[in-house]
Amino acid sequence: MDNRDEVSAFLTSRRAKITPEQAGLPVYGQRRVPGLRRGEVAMLAGVSVEYYTRLERGNLGGVSDSVLDALAKALRLDDTERDHLHVLARAANAGPPRTRRRPKTPTVRPSVLRLIDGLHDQPAYVRNNRLDILAVNPLARALHHEALEQTPANNARYVFLDPRATRLYPEWERVARDGVGALRVAVAKDPYDRELSNLIGELSTRSDAFRTMWGTHDVHVFTEGTKRFHHPAVGDMELVHESLDLSGEGGLTLTVYSADPGTPGADALKLLASWAATQEQDAPAQPGTER
């Protein structure tokens, strides 16, 4: 599949977000379009209007890194958006694969499984670029037990298709937008991933909220931050999360939640661990996880 539409929509959406005042440009008369005009972006980036028009129509083939960086500066892209633009350009230059790839079977190294199992007081799980949950430790299973009821377990499906997600995530809209942005990044990196395309098609068909958020073309990369939960058995908790890419694992990411000692979040994790222990005694392993 050609990524011209993806490139065009991304550049158009970024241009629409920047006002002339933000770009330091004078405003004369009434404007018919939101944000900057193509000519204004071209001027700020130091390229011709014709050349920028070609780029915004989706043709990034042969574009140099210096031009991409100039565009990123003109459009005031953040680091994630700038990296996304470079990924789109690399995909445009690479073209479609000559042979169709077989879908990769996601696997998690035994050493990684031992690592997350050793985190007794911290929820930890491994996911892929489609937000499939591939491996969890007992605390993560307790925290995300509703999402793990699916087969395969997928956090995007849970967030958008399971009404219980709005209870688990008090800041549901932020969680949802971050997930959509992460899927946007994944599509740019691997536009020929059939399972990823099927997931996006399913969510677009079944969820109005997903379809609306997908249309913004915002991008997101999970790194670190805080997340609020309202667990049905434990109550409110605010946890710090760190997400680390697993080298050599083909797009797998390890996420660990924690809380500073003596904080309400730490107390909530102790309660969660106690609840998880009772669940482990009488419940079989949840489907969709690898242990």
Q: What is the pLDDT of residue 46?
A: 96
| Domain identity same for 43 and 171 | no
Q: What is the pLDDT of residue 103?
A: 55
Mean pLDDT computed over every residue of the chain: 90
Q: What is the pLDDT of residue 249?
A: 66
Q: What is the pLDDT of residue 179?
A: 97
Residues in the chain: 291
Collapsing DSSP to helix, strand or coil, 241 comes out as strand
Task: Residue 20: give its domain's CATH number.
Answer: 1.10.260.40
| Domain identity same for 40 and 167 | no
pLDDT exceeds 70 at position 160 = yes
For 98, the token pair is: 């000559």
pLDDT tens, position by position, 106-143: 689 999 999 999 998 999 999 999 999 999 999 999 99
Total count of domains within the chain: 2
| Domain identity same for 167 and 85 | no
Parent domain of 11: 4-94
Q: Which residue has the higher pLDDT, 220 or 151?
A: 220
Q: Quick one: CA dihedral 215, 96, 79, 123, positive or negative?
A: positive
Q: Give residue 101's pLDDT band: very low, low, confident or very high (50, 70, 90).
A: low
pTM of structure: 0.89
Q: Give residue 148's pLDDT band: very low, low, confident or very high (50, 70, 90).
A: very high
